[in-house]
Amino acid sequence: MSEIIKVENLVKRYKELIALDHFSFTVNEGEIVGLLGPNGSGKSTTINCILSLLEYDSGKVEVFGKEMSPKAYDLKSKIGIVPQEVSVYGEYTVYENVDFFCGLYVPDKNERRKLVDEAIDFVGLRDFVKFKPKKLSGGLKRRLNIACGIAHKPKLIFFDEPTVAVDPQSRNNILEGIEKLRANGATIVYTSHYMEEVEQLCDRVIIMDKGQAIAQGTVDDLKGMIKKSELIRIEVMGVDEDTIDKIRELKSIYTVSYEDNVLKVEAGSGKHNVVDIIGILQEKGYKLRKVFSEQPTLNDVFLELTGKELRDE
Amino acid sequence: MFKYYLKKTLRNKMFIFWSLCFPLALMTLFTVAFSGIYDAENSVDTRKVSVVIESDSDFASNFSKVIDSIEDEEDSVLEVVEVKDRKEADKLLESGEIDGLFVAGKSEIDIVMTPDYTDTDCMILKAVANFYMRQYKMVEDAVSTGDLSKMSAVMESLDKELDVVSPERSAYIETTNPYLWYYFSTVVMGILFQAMAGINLVSDLQADISAAAMRVSVSPTKKLKIVLTGLAARYIVSLSVSVAALLAMKFLFKVPLGTRPVQLIAFVLLSNLFSLSLGQMFGLFFRGNMTTRGNKGTAIIMVSVFLSGEMIASLPGVFERYCPLINDINPATILNLCIYRLVFYDNLSTFYIEMAKILVLTVLFLAIATLRLRRQKYASL
């Protein structure tokens, strides 16, 4: 897999404030990489520096193997952006907005018509093509925002908190759409401070705080970095000591206790903890009533690494 | 892109309101309010005058003959009421039986008006007296020096119409119809509000002002192309709006636009470009979001238009007496003077001076705006 984005030691200062502090990361072709961090952690600044919109103090940004600059028009033509704010014109209809922004990349009218139609269908705005943005709900506006960013079929797409203030149904639509884009071959950089989205969507996650990458890897890698374990609770009658000992012997099990017909197990990172425990209980012929598993979250990871909550809302 | 920028400007309700609808509404209001007032006050009916000769000089006696000859002309503005002496003339003045009195001395002519004289009455009498004094002096010079070329100059000038308006800066005070100033001021207001389109252009291109501009900035389309396309589209809409306002002024409100179409077109072309470039300056150098910048621009234009006499026509005249700098730097006054002089003055030198001022400012503003708008990177967003 080739590197689509390579950022090395990026430093951006706003007077005394260091927005990006020697920030480095890479994004490989076909990946969805999440930049996760609280507001002000430097996610949008990173995107703006990569896009050559923001001046930065030092560092290097390469996109598609070439140095990114404001005049790198060949690189820009392969990039799409879905900004945090709904960035469309109130004077244009849905169709006109998508057509206008697509027109900045695709001059040919016939080709553009096809692309615009595809983008509108992709985000499910076919019934609203003649509507002005102010007539659309918040969720539909977000979809229009996405359509304007992807209509020209970019190979690299930046989604900067695309689900802020969106209802759950629209949020799911958006996330499904992003999955589809990746399936169609796009590489995606996704910023959010919603850990659930990042967990659901991203192949790799870079956790940011104060302009630095404090951890990066897959979601499981990140969860494996912390001590907090998975907590499993199983309601089951009359478990004997032999069975409890057998469970204790399983890999990545920290503690096992049995009280009031509830078996409590604390386990480290491991994908099959619940399955393994249930396997042992069923082998011994126990009938299980309820099974609960509490996984550590990225918020737990952030909390353990920084001492503060990820969500500041 | 051009088509979309055209649409965007035409669908900008605030822009259309301020640059077209509001001026037309004001003109309608003026027409309703002023209709008949000017005619009543300043009708071109014949002015009754008397002449008192207080010297036995040729200058004085010839003046009496000139006045008589003016009276004999078809559609003459003067009707001479014969008086024996100054005393009788004063009585007629006091009773309002005559509008004005010429008192011809040895080498000068004094004008005495009734207490309730109008500017126009005064201006006509002054114009007649000045005209005579000027011609008499020229003839006297020609005769005394025997210079025939001077004599032919006198003959040529006799063929010309009398100037009833002072050709220089007194346009603020001595207009042929002070109400016309309001119409021109209103048209100029509409033109100045084209600046809103300039502000709008900046917001479409500056990524630190609008998120949509950020999207435009990261596209592979060259910034200069977008700047020029956006400017051209807005310019065409601005011109169309101004032409519509001027046509309405001429044909609906019956306000004269003069007889110099070429200069008028030049004025419309230049003044609209000036307003767009002024709007770009507002957009670039004001702080705040697009709405804030627009509001600040609107406020400045309103003040500028007010100071140019939109509500009180005599205001620029007051500034001219006490602080001419205000008139010299106020864009609305400059544009107002420009079109007013174009329509009403024979001598266009002052019109061209104002046009030159506007041209220099426009070129300067456009150069600054283009350089700034081409900016690709920002210190902060």
pLDDT of residue B238: 92
Contact criterion met (CB < 8 Å) for A87 and B215: yes
pLDDT of residue A203: 92
Whether B210 has its CB under 8 Å from any CB of chain A: the answer is yes
Whether B3 has its CB under 8 Å from any CB of chain A: the answer is no
pLDDT of residue B169: 41
Distance CA A213, CA A206 (A): 6
Contact criterion met (CB < 8 Å) for A91 and B11: yes
Strands (DSSP E) contained in chain B are: 47-53, 78-80, 100-104, 109-113
Domain boundaries defined on chain B = 2-35+173-373, 44-164
The pTM (predicted TM-score) of the whole model is 0.73
Above pLDDT 90, what percent of chain A? 53
Let me know: does A191 contact A44? Beta carbons within 8 Å: yes
pLDDT of residue A310: 67
Which among A157, A163, A154 is positioned nearest to A77, based on CA atoms? A154
Mean pLDDT estimate for chain A: 89
pLDDT of residue B163: 43
Structural fold of domain B44-164: D-Maltodextrin-Binding Protein; domain 2 (3.40.190)
| Residue A300 in tokens | 């737990």
Helix (H) or strand (E) holding B323: none
Chain B residue numbers touching A92 (CB-CB < 8 A): 4, 7-8, 11
Distance CA B44, CA B194 (A): 38
Helix (H) or strand (E) holding A91: none
pLDDT above 90 for A33: yes
Q: Are strands B47-53 and B78-80 parallel, antiparallel or unpaired?
A: parallel
Nearest CA distance, B247 vs chain A (angstrom): 28
pLDDT of residue B177: 59
SS (H, E, C) B81-95: CCCCCHHHHHHHHHH
Distance CA A150, CA A184 (A): 12
- Tell me the pLDDT band of A127, cut-offs 50, 70 and 90: very high
Which among B197, B280, B202 is positioned nearest to B237, based on CA atoms? B197
Structural fold of domain A230-295: Alpha-Beta Plaits (3.30.70)
DSSP character at residue A72 = -
Composition of chain B by helix, strand, coil, percent to 5: 70, 5, 25
pLDDT of residue B74: 67
Q: Which one of A64, A87, A142, A153 would you mutate to disrupt binding with B, by most B Cβ within 10 Å of its Cβ?
A: A87
Cβ-Cβ contacts under 8 Å for B101 (sequence gap 6 or more)? B49, B50, B51, B52, B89, B90, B92, B93, B111, B112, B113
Which among B201, B282, B278, B218 is positioned nearest to B2, based on CA atoms? B201
Q: Out of A54, A76, A99, whose CB is closest to B377? A: A54
pLDDT tens per residue across span A163-213: 887 888 888 888 998 999 999 999 999 998 888 888 889 999 998 988 999
Domain boundaries defined on chain A = 3-222, 230-295
Whether B217 has its CB under 8 Å from any CB of chain A: the answer is yes
Show pLDDT as tens, one digit a residue, over chain B (381 residues). 889 999 998 988 888 888 889 889 988 888 887 766 655 555 556 788 888 888 888 888 888 888 888 877 766 778 888 888 888 888 888 888 888 888 888 888 888 888 777 777 788 888 888 888 888 888 888 777 776 666 666 656 555 544 443 334 444 444 455 677 788 888 899 999 989 899 988 888 888 888 888 999 999 998 889 989 999 999 999 999 999 999 998 888 888 888 889 999 999 999 999 999 999 999 888 888 888 888 898 899 999 988 888 777 778 878 877 888 888 888 898 898 888 888 887 778 888 988 998 999 999 999 998 888 877 777 777
Chain A residue numbers touching B222 (CB-CB < 8 A): 73
Decide if the complex's ipTM is over 0.90: no
Chain A residue numbers touching B197 (CB-CB < 8 A): none
Whether B380 has its CB under 8 Å from any CB of chain A: the answer is yes
CATH superfamily of this structure's domain A3-222: P-loop containing nucleotide triphosphate hydrolases (3.40.50.300)
Q: Which one of B4, B209, B225 would you mutate to disrupt binding with A, by most A Cβ within 10 Å of its Cβ?
A: B4
Q: Which one of A16, A52, A89, A141 would you mutate to disrupt binding with B, by most B Cβ within 10 Å of its Cβ?
A: A89
Contact criterion met (CB < 8 Å) for B215 and A148: yes
Nearest CA distance, B182 vs chain A (angstrom): 33
pLDDT tens per residue across span A72-124: 999 999 999 999 889 999 999 999 999 999 999 999 999 999 999 999 998 98
Whether B53 has its CB under 8 Å from any CB of chain A: the answer is no
Contact criterion met (CB < 8 Å) for B220 and A86: no
